[in-house]
Amino acid sequence: MSPEALGIAMLALMVVAILIGFPTAFTLMALGVTFGFLGIGFVVFDLVVQRTFFVMQNDVLVSIPLFLFMGYLVERAGIVDKLFKSVQLLMGGLPGALAIATLLTGALFATATGIVGASVTLLGLLALPAMIRRGYNVSFGSGVIVAAGTLGILIPPSVLLILYGFIAGVSVPRLYAAAFIPGFILVGFYLVYIIFRAWRNPSIAPALPTEERIVPIPQIIKMLITGLLPILTLILFVLGAIFFGIATPTEAAALGSLGGLLLAAGHRKLTFSMLRESVFLTLRASAMVGWLLVGSSIFAAVFARLGGAAVVGEFLDGLGLDTVQFVILVQVVIFLLGWPLEWTEITIIFLPLFLPLLQANGVDLVWFGVLASLNMQTAFLSPPVAMSAYYLMNVAPKGILLNQIFKGMYPYIVLQIAAMVLLYLFPALATWLPNLVYGER
């Protein structure tokens, strides 16, 4: 068998193995070493060592565990609970007040952590029981929670954008700046949808009873200050340091972790058991990402040495697509991959196949990265994988069915696609802010 045929066979076997459920990282490494040995001999072992050190020596990747640690600390500091209650009281006279409070809390929490599982779980614990007590439609309430909880994939400090920056070789600060406006446009889409649905059909999202809204204004202000001010200060401190070049993403993440420790201590939640749990969760998530990066780097290097990447490139060139059609094709492929796969697998395994061709066609990889991130956000909301639904199901009260959660997610997939179309038609939504802050490239 020719090296090119081995490369294509390796790619096909990888897809089948992942769909069956084999561990992604170790599947990639095993296939890379096995097919590499068959195609290029003992050289593959040198390649494995080189690619492993290449991943380990990247400074930007150090920010991933630090941002994760910051997020887990903020989650356990009790700040989000106060923020949710104060926003809920402020919105209490409106139909859908709980849903609006959930969305706004989720958007703010997303800027403090890029951890989707933590966001959905925390919002589910805070909001879903309250929604059910107030007579909310289960599907409507569940949809708000899972959609708000996935905003951390796009809104900085997004772990996805760090990984994409590493893979595409583009600046993470530029990506963060590019994602800010599209991220909050998506929040605006969600907000308009929630208000419209609650206004058209108040029975699915009743307003809070009058007696529950009678809270002294000074008490609401105090709750807002203690809930909003600390997390807003941390966000501005960390992201501001990145945007204005005061600190690298890794340095800013380290400062954010220190800020998370101070917030937890200030709220009297910093205990040894809480710290140990946060460290454990950070190590577990970081190890998963690290092994995936090493495995995909080995797989990609072997795939390229066997000539598989050239075959894929020639096939795509042979389709005769112009730049617009090619970008649309890639986005359709990413969307379809989001049904069975998670964003990590799409970002680390499949995007590297398209990036060289996108760059050759003059596509702005910063803009494309934000567009792809919006697209991959649908992977959390599209069955059968739809991990955000399973995160919520783990903490949902008894009697709630998975299908009810799925039903509530579908409108938000449509809104995400609408945001993608808007970003595609108006690329300046992603390019204006990074060009303003860092200058045009």
For 396-414, what is each residue's pLDDT tens digit? 888 888 888 889 999 999 9
Tokens standing for residue 248:
């690298």
Q: What is the pLDDT of residue 93?
A: 66
Question: CA of 107: how far to CAs of 180, 184, 189, 353, in Å?
Answer: 11, 8, 12, 32
Q: What is the pLDDT of residue 192?
A: 93
Cα dihedral: 164, 166, 172, 175 (round 10): -30
Give CA–CA dist 431/440, Å, rounded.
9
Q: What is the pLDDT of residue 211?
A: 64
Q: What is the pLDDT of residue 286?
A: 84
Q: What is the pLDDT of residue 419?
A: 94
Contacts of 235 (CB under 8 A, 6+ apart): 108, 111, 112
Q: What is the pLDDT of residue 364?
A: 92
For the chain, list residues with pLDDT below 70.
92-93, 113-114, 210-215, 385, 441
Q: What is the pLDDT of residue 368?
A: 95
Q: What is the pLDDT of residue 268?
A: 82
Q: What is the pLDDT of residue 114?
A: 66
R_g (Cα) of the chain, nearest Å:
22
Q: What is the pLDDT of residue 135?
A: 86
Indicate the DSSP class of residue 348. Answer: I
Other CB atoms within a 10 A radius of the CB of residue 27 amount to: 19
